[in-house]
Amino acid sequence: MTDPRDLVTDVGLLAEGAHDPGSPPAGIRRAPTGVDGLTTEHLVINMGPQHPSTHGVLRLIVEVDGEEIVAAETSLGYLHRGIEKLAETRRYNQLGTLMDRGDYVSGMHGEQAAALAVERLLEVEVPPKARWTRSLVAELTRIASHLIWYGTFGLDTGAMGQFLYAMRDRESILDILEAISGARMMFNYIRPGGVVADLPAGIDGRIRRFCNGFDAYLDEHHALLGGNEIFQARVQGVGEIDADTALAFGLTGANLRASGFGWDVRRERPYDAYPQLDFDVPVGTTGDAWDRYMVRMEEMRQANRMVRQCVDGMPEGDFTAKVPKVIRPPEGEVYASVESSRGETGVHVVSDGSDTPYRYHYRAPSLFACQVLEEILPGHLIADAVMLIGSLDIMLGETDR
């Protein structure tokens, strides 16, 4: 068990500072220079929130010299729904519904984080079947979420073909999750103490059929997009984020691992069934867009492996612990985090002993990924900006909360 803060000091970031204070901060506040020997002017372009490839409502203000970006500023808040404030008026077993709407492409992970936090406050023992079921649905969700990323990443580079192939596979997963939880997107399945319902009869056969097919489909996906030379020329060596920068910006998940720093919450701070599961954590080397692509593709393979293990090793027993209908945890505060599809999704709850949280904080990994855009965009072209947003796999629902 390693605390991430120790890791940060280990590589000397807090001691030396990740950023050279002499270098100007990335941002639009610099005046347009307009002195290139000719009377050229920089153009300030407002990219989003209605731009077709800003993955929802990200707004980027980019200053360009021709097509080359000289400075970029992210502007957030177009999808703010006050999830943290709303949580203060929700009972503890209602938190999952809010988390579903944060990172709405991988809702199970948000629910899992909220449930873990409440369980830690209550100090309740979760039965093994519930833990294994949670890991099962979490890994299925990870594949579904990565498929969305895979499809849209291709769209960002201008390819159309792979998107609907990814949707085909995602559809199978959503059907399985619908059979398990009754919903395709806003599951509200993982609750404090366990899960809301037992796995339906015969679901293991369906999941196995999907797993067996998906390995081959994944190879096809990789060959279709990653095997294309135009795609390789677009992503290889573009948007490099080294490990120091990644840690300084608080990146987690595949974005951090692509830069060669193998931090994975499932391995470093195991929860649910992960201590018993056998999986590899893929890491990249240079942290360019290609590494992020490769890491996510490999993560889908590992997730598929874990889904199989979960189905094979699913223990018997209760699917939930005995938890009161109205949860009133003792006073105190706790932080729990899970490895979501986008990184470390964490929940910090402060309890005052009542039936609602006193303060609720939701650590969204995409927020950190958005910030690093300002750092890596200058020097790239507009076409790269679109591709890099896709390569970081940001989810605006959780960014703005």
Binding site for other proteins (CB under 8 A): 43, 45, 51-53, 67, 154-161, 163-165, 168, 224-225, 228, 230-231, 233-234, 381-384, 386
- Which three-class secondary structure state does DSSP give residue 73? strand
For helices 365-376 and 382-392, what crossing angle results, to 10°?
Answer: 160
Question: Least CB distance from residue 157 to other proteins, whole Å?
Answer: 4
Q: Which residue's CB is nearer to other proteins, number 163 or number 335?
A: 163
Q: Which residue's CB is nearer to other proteins, number 55 or number 266?
A: 55
Question: Least CB distance from residue 378 to other proteins, whole Å?
Answer: 16
Question: Least CB distance from residue 15 to other proteins, whole Å?
Answer: 39
Question: Least CB distance from residue 120 to other proteins, whole Å?
Answer: 43
Helix (H) or strand (E) holding 62: strand 59-65
Question: Least CB distance from residue 288 to other proteins, whole Å?
Answer: 14
Q: Which residue's CB is nearer to other proteins, number 25 or number 161?
A: 161
CA angle 334, 335, 340 (to 5 degrees): 150
Alpha-carbon distance 40 to 313, whole Å? Answer: 65
Q: Which residue's CB is nearer to other proteins, number 110 or number 390?
A: 390
Q: What share of the chain is helix, strand, coil (3-state, %, to 5)?
A: 50, 10, 40
Question: Least CB distance from residue 231 to other proteins, whole Å?
Answer: 5
Question: Least CB distance from residue 221 to other proteins, whole Å?
Answer: 13
- Which three-class secondary structure state does DSSP give residue 99? helix
The amino acid at residue 258 is A
Q: Which residue's CB is nearer to other proteins, number 50 or number 354?
A: 50
Alpha-carbon distance 188 to 178, whole Å? Answer: 11
The answer to whether the beta carbons of residues 100 and 186 sit under 8 Å apart is yes
Tokens matching residue 399: 């960014």
Q: Which residue's CB is nearer to other proteins, number 295 or number 385?
A: 385
- Which three-class secondary structure state does DSSP give residue 270? coil
Q: Which residue's CB is nearer to other proteins, number 37 or number 52?
A: 52
The number of residues making up the chain comes to 401
Helix (H) or strand (E) holding 359: strand 359-363
Question: Least CB distance from residue 324 to other proteins, whole Å?
Answer: 48
Tokens matching residue 111: 């629910």
Alpha-carbon distance 304 to 315, whole Å? Answer: 19
Tokens matching residue 245: 């920068």
Question: Least CB distance from residue 67 to other proteins, whole Å?
Answer: 6
Q: Which residue's CB is nearer to other proteins, number 31 or number 160?
A: 160
Q: How far is CA 175 from CA 99, 181, 182, in A?
A: 21, 10, 9
Q: Which residue's CB is nearer to other proteins, number 94 or number 232?
A: 232
Q: Which residue's CB is nearer to other proteins, number 13 or number 159?
A: 159
The dihedral formed by the CA atoms of 112, 118, 123 and 127, expressed in degrees to the nearest 10: -30
Question: Least CB distance from residue 66 to other proteins, whole Å?
Answer: 8
Alpha-carbon distance 256 to 248, whole Å? Answer: 10
Closest listed residue to residue 11, CA positions, set 242, 202, 292: 242
Closest listed residue to residue 48, CA positions, set 58, 62, 35, 33: 58
